[in-house]
């Protein structure tokens, strides 16, 4: 009876069910998570198709400043999210969860097909192990728990599907057609798809059994000959992709190979080894250091002996894998190299902007799928059952080598599950995300700014003030971006000093006056300050002018300047900032008696943001301004039932 139950519950369908169940138990909590980080930019007014007609030009336009990616298919899914469910993070998180499940099951299927092709004895356990590793790995929390991680999820889905088609289909033209189509779809989701030809040659080498006559160069020539038609088709696909990219953005590559970027290439080239070490560590020992940020500045700090030994170990590991692939024809080594190929774009070998980070866990979404397969299909029995190990364990009162190997594997997977469980909540909201990053990199300026601002916007005003004062005491002064934050702290505490503080920033920093210049756009591009930061400062200053200067006309003028800076930041408007600026604008219009204009703007904004979200900004401004109830504007607002009653 026991054997029958074990057989029944180990059937392929049941094992797939176990993978799905584990993912749902771990990641089900993400359905309650909010928009986080770049989600606030993506899920803004641009996705409202009732106001912005959807066409190819719109799909080809990136969301982020200075990042010239071309990912129309992935962007289309964001439009579909809003079209189907509105601005609903629960729905969008659900889509990502389904994609993570599908990718994990594809890892199982691809692993099974590879084992079938190489003639390995039929067994569902290695594919199940590969799928389980991929499903519960901590490096996948960024893509699975963060809506913006969908770029990587979709690219991985199509790459795994193309790999399955390459392994499984027998008809030459059917295989070439389907693999080329799936690769094209992967390219439309993320640039990772461009590396598919390199990776698939490694997969082809793993599937091919070389004869004695095919050793050495002949073996690789045979692999190229077998895949010549497919490689030609993939080159055509890539040229079509480049043509579409040129049509949408005017450039095949967003960085110019000028003196600046060539210098960047030279200066950062030494990071390649450090980056490889980072990704290997995050893949095989991800039990510390999972975070949204991994600043380069921490990687290039003076090396310790541990760093040097780590780099030597990285070189030895990569050399060993290459030797096993080339000299020993290890199939798992070739699969490992196929996964490694998908990292080539993010090893700091070419100038790609990733926010001055050494790397991100989301870049492991595709490589990890193949590394999990390589781990599961490796021939451990050749080591475990070697005569020397058998003699060693038999001569001592310890478990057998096989039992010890299973025990270590089980502990490793349990640690993966536990670490993932701990870090999924990091993506619940901005405050949780940046609290985690700050705990690892407290001296990184970008992480500091994001953490302090998330505290401020999360209502922890006193804590944000405490952190800013501690930073000022440590450094002797605050940089301008932190000064703007501190000015907003004073405003949120309704401290009249906020007016003078923000006014001082506005008048003393040259970049805050660029809107007055005829060539403002060019000057802004040359400015070291983020455009949105300038707009943020003007938005806070406008509120100070209203509340402490009692000048709603000037406040409205200043908030229009803030909107100009946000618009100048790019052709896009960041959703988070647009909420604050336009909500302030609505409040100022009400105070000035321009009720129809204010109501029209409010109704327009409610197509994107909930009424409560808008009123959470509008109401405190009106409440503070109308502490002096004798003001005519306040009496009129009360008479019109706009204030002080709570609106629904």
Are the C-beta atoms of residues 224 and 274 closer than 8 Å to each other? no
Q: For residue 480, name the pLDDT band (cuts at 50, 70, 90).
A: confident
DSSP H or E stretch at residue 150: helix 150-168
Are the C-beta atoms of residues 441 and 291 closer than 8 Å to each other? yes
Residue 5 reports pLDDT greater than 50:
no
Q: For residue 129, name the pLDDT band (cuts at 50, 70, 90).
A: very high
Are the C-beta atoms of residues 431 and 467 closer than 8 Å to each other? no
Higher pLDDT, 46 or 414: 414
Are the C-beta atoms of residues 382 and 401 closer than 8 Å to each other? no
Lowest average pLDDT, out of 23-37, 194-208, 347-361, 562-576, goes to 562-576
Query: Tokens representing 92?
Result: 């969008």
Does residue 119 come out as left (phi exceeding 0), alpha (psi in the -120 to 50 range) or beta?
left
Q: Write down the pLDDT at residue 531.
A: 64
**What average pLDDT does this structure show over 365-388?**
83
Residue 547 reports pLDDT greater than 90:
no
State how far the Cα of 641 lies from the Cα of 207, in Å rounded to an integer.
74
Higher pLDDT, 236 or 51: 236
| HSE-up (13 A, CA, CB side) for residue 643 | 24
Q: Write down the pLDDT at residue 107.
A: 97
Q: What is the mean pLDDT of the chain?
A: 83
Q: Write down the pLDDT at residue 390.
A: 60
Closest CA relative to residue 457, chosen from 536, 387, 380, 404: 536
Q: Write down the pLDDT at residue 22.
A: 95
State how far the Cα of 585 lies from the Cα of 602, in Å rounded to an integer.
10
Q: Say what percent of the chain tops pLDDT 90.
A: 43
SS3 295: strand
- DSSP line for 212-250: GGGTTHHHHHHHHHHTHHHHHHHHHHHHHHHHHHHHHHS
Query: Tokens representing 131?
Result: 């799928």
DSSP class of residue 210 equals -
SS3 357: strand
pLDDT in tens, 549-594: 888 899 998 888 888 777 766 544 444 455 567 888 898 999 888 9
Query: Tokens representing 115?
Result: 């084992």
263-298 burial, b if ≥16 CB within 10 A, otherwise e?
Answer: ebeeebeebebbbbbbbbbbbeebeeebbbbbbbee
pTM of the model: 0.88
* Count of residues making up the chain: 648
Q: Write down the pLDDT at residue 329.
A: 87
Closest CA relative to residue 427, chosen from 87, 148, 63: 148
Lowest average pLDDT, out of 241-250, 261-270, 582-591, goes to 261-270
pLDDT in tens, 148-188: 999 999 999 999 999 999 999 988 899 999 999 999 999 99
Q: For residue 78, name the pLDDT band (cuts at 50, 70, 90).
A: very high
Burial class (CB in 10 A: 0-12, 13-18, 19+), 632: exposed
Higher pLDDT, 261 or 572: 261
**Top-confidence range, 144-158, 379-393, 498-512:** 144-158
Q: Write down the pLDDT at residue 644.
A: 47
DSSP class of residue 515 equals G
Radius of gyration of the chain from Cα atoms? Answer: 28
Adjacent-strand bridge partners of 295: 357
Q: Write down the pLDDT at residue 164.
A: 96
């Amino acid at each position: 009876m026991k054997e029958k139950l074990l057989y029944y519950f180990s059937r392929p369908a049941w094992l797939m069910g176990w993978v799905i169940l584990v993912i749902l138990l771990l990641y089900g909590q993400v359905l309650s998570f909010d928009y986080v980080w770049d989600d606030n930019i993506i899920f803004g007014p641009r996705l409202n198709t009732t106001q912005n007609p959807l066409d190819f030009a719109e799909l080809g336009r990136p969301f982020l400043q200075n990042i010239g990616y071309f990912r129309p298919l992935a962007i289309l899914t964001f439009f579909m999210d809003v079209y189907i469910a509105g601005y609903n993070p629960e729905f969008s998180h659900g889509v990502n969860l389904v994609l993570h499940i599908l990718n994990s099951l594809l890892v199982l299927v691809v692993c099974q097909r590879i084992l079938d092709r190489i003639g390995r004895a039929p067994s569902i356990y290695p594919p199940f192990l590969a799928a389980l590793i991929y499903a519960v790995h901590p490096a996948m929390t960024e893509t699975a728990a963060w809506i913006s991680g969908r770029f990587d999820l979709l690219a991985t889905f199509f790459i795994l599907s193309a790999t399955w088609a390459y392994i499984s289909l027998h008809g030459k033209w059917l295989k070439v057609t389907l693999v080329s189509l799936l690769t094209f779809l992967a390219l439309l989701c993320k640039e990772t798809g461009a590396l598919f030809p390199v990776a698939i040659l490694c997969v082809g080498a793993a599937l091919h059994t070389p004869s004695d006559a095919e050793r050495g160069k002949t073996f690789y020539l045979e692999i190229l000959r077998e895949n010549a038609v497919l490689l030609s088709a993939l080159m055509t696909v890539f040229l079509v992709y480049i043509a579409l990219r040129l049509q949408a953005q005017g450039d095949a590559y967003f960085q110019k190979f000028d003196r600046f970027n060539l210098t960047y290439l030279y200066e950062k080239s030494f990071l390649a080894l450090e980056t490889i070490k980072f990704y290997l560590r995050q893949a095989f020992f991800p039990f510390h250091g999972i975070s949204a940020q991994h600043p380069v500045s921490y990687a290039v700090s003076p090396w310790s002996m541990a760093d040097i030994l780590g780099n030597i170990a990285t070189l030895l590991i990569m050399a060993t894998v290459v030797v096993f692939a080339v000299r020993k024809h290890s199939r798992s080594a070739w699969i490992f190299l196929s996964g490694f190929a998908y990292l080539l774009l993010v090893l700091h070998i070419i100038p790609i902007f990733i926010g001055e980070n050494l790397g991100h866990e989301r870049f492991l979404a595709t490589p990890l799928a193949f590394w999990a397969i390589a781990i599961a299909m490796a021939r451990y029995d050749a080591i475990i059952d070697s005569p020397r190990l058998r003699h060693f364990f038999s001569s001592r009162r310890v478990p057998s080598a096989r039992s010890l190997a299973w025990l270590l594997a089980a502990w490793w997977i349990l640690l993966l599950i536990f670490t993932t469980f701990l870090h999924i909540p990091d993506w619940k909201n901005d405050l949780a995300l940046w609290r985690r990053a700050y705990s690892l990199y407290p001296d990184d300026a970008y992480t500091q700014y994001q953490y302090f601002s998330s505290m401020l916007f999360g209502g922890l005003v006193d804590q944000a003030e405490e952190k800013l004062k501690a930073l000022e005491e440590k450094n002797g002064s605050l940089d301008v971006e932190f000064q703007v934050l501190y000015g907003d702290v004073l405003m949120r505490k309704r401290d009249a000093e906020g007016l003078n503080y923000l006014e001082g920033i506005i008048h003393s920093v040259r970049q805050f006056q660029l809107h007055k210049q005829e060539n403002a756009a060019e000057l802004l591009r040359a400015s070291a300050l983020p455009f949105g930061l300038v707009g943020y400062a003007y938005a806070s200053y406008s509120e100070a002018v209203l509340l402490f200067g009692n000048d709603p006309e000037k406040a409205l003028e200043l908030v229009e300047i803030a909107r100009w800076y946000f618009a100048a930041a790019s052709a896009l408007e960041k959703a988070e900032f647009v909420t604050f600026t336009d909500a302030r604008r609505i409040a100022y219009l009400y105070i000035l008696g321009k009720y129809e204009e204010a109501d029209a703007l409010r109704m327009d904004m409610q197509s994107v943001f909930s009424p409560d979200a808008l009123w959470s900004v509008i109401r405190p401004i009106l409440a503070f301004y109308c502490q002096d109830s004798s003001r005519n504007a306040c009496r009129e607002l009360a008479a019109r039932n706009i204030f002080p009653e709570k609106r629904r």
